[in-house]
Chain A
Amino acid sequence: MTRAEIYQRITGILVKTFELDPADIRPESRLFEDLDLDSIDAVDMFVELHEVTGRRIDPQAARKIRTVQDIVTLVEAEFASAGVPVDG
């Protein structure tokens, strides 16, 4: 899977799960401030990410998430830990 594909997948999840406008989503978009998600939405997001990676979410990494790019980085790291190659 490529980084671009991961980004596309995350964007797709955000649009579908939270009914966001794709045009509003950029890598630097802050989840709470810019995209108006809240702590409850975050649970749904982690459920989705769990299904994407098939792995338990690392609590330390989860705490650091602020932006869309942070999610992409987390998913890349999870794939890397699982031995799934991620290409540029």
Chain B
Amino acid sequence: MSAAARWANHGPVDPAPRIVDVAILGGGLAGNLLARQLRRQLPQLSVALFERSRETSFKVGESTVEIASNYLIRRLGLSTYLYENQLPKNGLRFFFDTPQKDAALVDMSEIGSGHLPRFPSFQIDRQRIEADLMRMNLADGVQLHVGARAHDLKLHEQDGPPDAQTASGMHEFTVTEGDARYPVQARWLVDASGRASAIARLKDLRVATPEHGIAAAWGRFIKHADMDDWGPEAWRARVGHTARTLSTNHFCYPGYWIWFIPLGRGVMSVGWVGDRAIFRDEMRKPEGFLEFLRGHRAAWDLLKDRAELIDVLAYKQLAYATKQFFAGGDRWFLTGEAAAFTDPFYSPGSDFISVENDMITDMIARDHAGEPRAQIAERSAVYDEFMRFRFQATLLLYRDLYPVLGSFELLKLKWDFDIACYYNLWAAPFWHDQHLDMRQLQHDLRRKEFVLQGLENFSRLFQKLEAGYRARGLWHRANLGRYSDSLATVDFADELLAPRPRKQVMRTTEAIFNGIRARALDLLADLGEAPSPAERSLPLYEFMLGSPLA
């Protein structure tokens, strides 16, 4: 029996109507974390969670990064739980191959750190953490309904037409649990039910993202080889004998990448993410997935001797957007994959959950404390616009850039840019709760177009370099034998421990932009291309207007 099945009702279910303060649809990571947060921050509110499945299942999305980890530790008090029951993560690590995909692991160029990062993150076994969170939530007083299907949802929208209002003035839905059926009324409704989101369907919120056509297939292995007991001493000494296994290891190729993520207890998650055009339906099946991996020597070396594939899953289209994340005035919200998904390359999924859950909890708290509805609605609109901005900015990290991934020189430049921007612009503000500060958000949103233009400009610069490298046959030239410290450009980490004045953040941004652009100019010089503008240093605003960076 799986862990979650123990929480399912095995006896007769009481068919009496339920009235709760907060109803959460979906008992995955997003829903369980939100239930925990609500119990901790608003213990006076009743919280009911409805999960359709009777058992937790194998899910992708095991790697957390620095926003999500901060949320789990600081907001949810899960530090001890995570260190005792999940794995500390050793950052992101990238390996590069030959055109023939025949490099041995120890010969591959590598981007990664030589020690555990100072800002913690974790590799989480989703199945295990979701079952554990259910157990904790049950103990904390969450009304847990496992094996309970919510349907016939009717939202109460105060300003909507009569058919968008319920007689009770609350959101209403029906739950089928075992043989019983009962109605539920909830003041606040949160949809955390993943891609199947009921609210997204009801409100027609889902937006396709054909501009980022990325597919994925993944599976769990046992009995794989140990990367940290592998290869010559010099290769292990190169990273100070740090545990490479604990990293999210990416094997990078033009147009796709393969992940190795340890889940603990001898299980390794291995996945493929790439352009839909190169996805093959055979990869949905164990034989096809193994056959694909077999074509990549380094990855296959870790699996071929004894490893056993336990299961395999796939999605043909990963990314999608939403028209709306929150309706605070009408008391309904989306979190996690019920709202949107970008791309797993930098593991942003749980970061989105963290920001969304914080915002949802904040709006419910204010509403409960009696803040006027108009103010909640205004805050909700700002939070919503920020999330859509965040989504757009995240998608820009990946869109049109999959061709860059498999070249050490090109990804090193892009990675250094992305990780420095992540710490400076997204992670540190979250750590200091600036994502809940209306003034700060409104200020950020006024600059939204400029920030997106800056990211777009860098995306074009990376694409220009990639085209030049490809045209001159230089694409793979540094893919063997090199090593780069993955956090070398985050030399401002000490500054992030306290809130920084806005001007300091922007100065750091200017320094990051100029540092990366100067390195790009050197690579362009290698290609024999003269940049325009030719200056090595530009004022920040020039990065954010609509002209090319080189």
- Residue numbers of A with Cβ under 8 A of B are 39-40, 42-43, 45-47, 50-51, 56-60, 62-63
Top 9 nearest A-B pairs (CB, nearest first) are: A39-B539, A59-B547, A59-B545, A42-B541, A40-B506, A43-B541, A39-B540, A46-B541, A43-B540
Known A39-B539, A40-B510, A42-B541; contact A50-B503, beta-carbon cutoff 8 A: no
CB within 8 Å of A: which B432-463 residues:
446-447, 449-450
State the Cβ distance, B446 to closest chain A Cβ, in Å.
6
B547–A43 CB distance below 8 A: no
A63 contacts across to B, CB distance below 8 A: 542
- Chain A's nearest CB lies how many Å from the CB of B448? 10
Pair A47/B447 contact, Cβ less than 8 Å: yes
Chain A contacts of B539 at CB under 8 A?
39, 42
- Most interface-central of B510, B542, B544, B545 (chain A CB within 10 A): B545
Q: Taking the complex as formed, is B169 at the interface, i.e. its CB lies under 8 A from any CB of chain A? A: no
Chain B residues whose CB sits within 8 angstroms of the CB of A47 once the complex forms: 446-447, 450
Interface residues of B in 404-458 (CB under 8 A from A): 446-447, 449-450
Question: In the complex, how many angstroms separate the beta carbon of B546 from the nearest chain A beta carbon?
Answer: 6
- Chain B residues with CB under 8 Å of chain A are 446-447, 449-450, 503, 506-507, 510, 539-542, 544-547
> How many residue pairs, one in A and one in B, have C-beta atoms under 8 Å apart?
44
Decide if B546 touches A43 in the complex (CB within 8 Å): no
Q: Once bound together, how far apart are the Cα atoms of A46 and B447, in whole Å?
A: 9
Does B545 contact A40, Cβ atoms closer than 8 Å?
no
Closest Cβ–Cβ distance, residue A62 to chain B (whole Å): 6
Q: Is the interface of A mostly helix, strand, loop or mixed?
A: helix
A56 and B447 within 8 A (CB) = no
**Once the chains bind, are B446 and A62 in contact (CB under 8 Å)?**
no
Question: Besides A40-B506, A46-B544, 8 other CB < 8 A contacts?
Answer: A39-B541, A40-B503, A40-B507, A45-B541, A46-B541, A51-B446, A57-B546, A59-B547
A56 to B452, CA, bound (A): 13
Write the nearest CB–CB distance from B105 to chain A, whole angstroms: 44
Measured CA separation A57–B510 after assembly (Å): 19
- The 23 sampled A-B contact pairs (Cβ below 8 Å) are A39-B539, A39-B540, A40-B506, A40-B507, A40-B510, A42-B541, A43-B450, A43-B506, A43-B540, A43-B541, A46-B544, A46-B545, A50-B449, A50-B450, A51-B446, A56-B449, A56-B545, A57-B546, A59-B542, A59-B546, A62-B541, A62-B542, A63-B542
| Closest Cβ neighbor of A46 among chain B residues | B541
The answer for the CA separation of A50 and B451 in the assembled complex, in Å, is 13
Contacts of A56 in B (CB 8 A): 449, 545-546
Shortest beta-carbon distance, B443 to chain A, in Å? 9
CB neighbours (8 Å) of B542 from chain A are 59, 62-63
Please give, as numbers and ranges, the residues of chain A lying within 8 Å of B507 by CB-CB distance: 40
Chain A residues contacting B547 (CB-CB under 8 Å) are 59-60
Chain B residues closer than 8 Å to A40, beta-carbon distance: 503, 506-507, 510, 540
Assembly CA distance A45 to B450 (angstroms): 12
- Report the separation of the CA atoms of residues A40 and B509 in the bound assembly, to the nearest whole angstrom: 10
